[in-house]
Amino acid sequence: MLHGYALSLLEGAALTLSVAFLSLGIALALGLAGAVAKLSRSRIAQGVALAYTTVIRAVPDLVLMLLVFYGGQMAINSLGERLGWAYIDIDPWIAGVLTIGFIFGAYFTEVLRGAFLAVPAGQKEAAIACGFTPGQVLWRIVGPQMLRHALPGLSNNWLVMIKATAIVSVIGLSDLMNRAAQAAGSTREPFLFYGAAALLYLAFTTLSELGFAWLSNRLAIGTKKASL
């Protein structure tokens, strides 16, 4: 049915997932740090976080990926030559994961910042009045409530991330998109193979949405839902 390319597509899908999950970890860590920095009172922290989110969100993923892969390689090459190291190869997989994690850290910063702002201001004020330190406020009071508000934005960005992994095909990684394009090119049936790839991405999405729905219900315990 898929002219023999089915296994190839599945292998590509596995690679796509591996890149996506690892990038998620990196992005969440960076996003939390960035959001806290942006909401803090320190001008320096705010400035650095603003520069990070502005520059990284400003440059298309494709361009960043190429810069990290080729430019970074050239930088390491010249550094290596000067220090006398043997040639160190930047593995495309590592370049892909780092780039995507770094890019989405910036987007997660904005989502988490919006989520922090959605928690009623009184919560933070009451906590400070009760004597919690800023760290405790974040960890015990605002943080858990913030997660519920962050979920729509996080889920949006997670879905975007799975698909952003498609750009790693540019640096030679044989992900799902890459393999679909190869099959489409060889058989001249783009609709079939891009359709198949679309279905696989949809499968990832379904699982992700189910996961997020479960998480959303879990975090919304105790809140009232108004019906329009």
Partner 1 sequence: MQRRPLALALALILAAGTAAAQAPDWKKIRIGVEGAYPPFSEVGTDGKLKGFDIDIAMALCAEMQAECSLVQQEWDGIIPALQSRKFDAIVASMAITEERLKVVSFTNKYYNTPSRLVGKAGTTLAPTPEGLKGKRIGVQRSTIQDRFVTATFTGSEIVRYAKADEVYLDLAAGRVDVVFSDTLAVDGGFLKKPQGKGFAFFGPAFDDPKFFGTGSGIAVRKADTALQQKFNAAIAAIRANGTYKKLNDKYFDFDVYGK
Partner 2 sequence: MNVQVMWDSLPQYAAGAVTTLQLLVLALAIGLAAALPLAVLRSLPSAWAWRPVWGFTYVIRGTPLLVQLFLLYYGLAQFEVVRASALWPLLKSAWFCAVAAFAINTCAYTTEILHGAIKAVPAGEVEAARALGMGRWQALRRIVLPSALRRCLPAYSNEVVLMLHGTALASVVTLHDLTGVAREVNSVHYLPFEAFITAALCYLLITVVLVGAFQLAERRWLRPFLPRA
- Count, residues near partner 2 per rule CB under 8 A: 60
Site string for partner 1, 41-80 (x = CB under 8 A): -------------------------x---x--xx--x---
What is the Cα–Cα distance from 174 to 168, expressed in whole angstroms?
A: 8
What angle is formed at CA 106 by the lines to CA 58 and CA 45, rounded to 5 degrees? 105
Among 189, 212, 215, 219, binds partner 2 (CB under 8 A): 189
Query: Per the structure block, which two tokens stand in for 86?
Result: 């043997």
Q: Is 44 in the site for partner 2 (CB under 8 A)?
A: no
Among 6, 7, 14, 67, binds partner 2 (CB under 8 A): 67
Neighbours of 99 (CB within 10 A): 26
Of 119, 128, 104, give the one whose Cα is nearest residue 32: 104
Q: Which does 185 bind (CB under 5 to 8 A by kind): partner 2, partner 1, none?
A: partner 1
CB of 209 to partner 2, least distance (A): 7
String of DSSP letters for 3-53:
TT-HHHHHHHHHHHHHHHHHHHHHHHHHHHHHHHHHHSS-HHHHHHHHHHH
Q: Which is nearer to partner 1, 186 or 206 (CB)?
A: 186
Stretch that binds partner 1, among 26-34, 54-62, 108-116, 128-136 (CB under 8 A): 26-34
Is the Cβ–Cβ distance between 130 and 139 less than 8 Å? no
Among 40, 42, 133, 186, binds partner 1 (CB under 8 A): 186
Query: Per the structure block, which two tokens stand in for 4?
Result: 């023999």
| Residue where the block lists tokens 């058989």 | 187
Site string for partner 2, 167-186 (x = CB under 8 A): ----------x--x---x--
Of 56, 167, 52, give the one whose Cα is nearest residue 103: 56
Site residues for partner 2, 99-158, by CB under 8 A, read: 107, 110-111, 113-114, 117-118, 120-121, 124-125, 128, 149, 151-153, 156-157
Query: Per the structure block, which two tokens stand in for 50?
Result: 């603003």
Of 22, 21, 29, 15, give the one whose Cα is nearest residue 211: 21
Stretch that binds partner 1, among 116-124, 126-134, 154-162, 175-183 (CB under 8 A): 175-183
Q: Write out the residues near partner 1 by the rule CB under 8 A.
A: 3-5, 7-8, 11, 26, 29-30, 32-33, 66, 70, 73-74, 77, 85-91, 94, 98, 101, 170, 172, 174, 179, 181-186, 188, 190
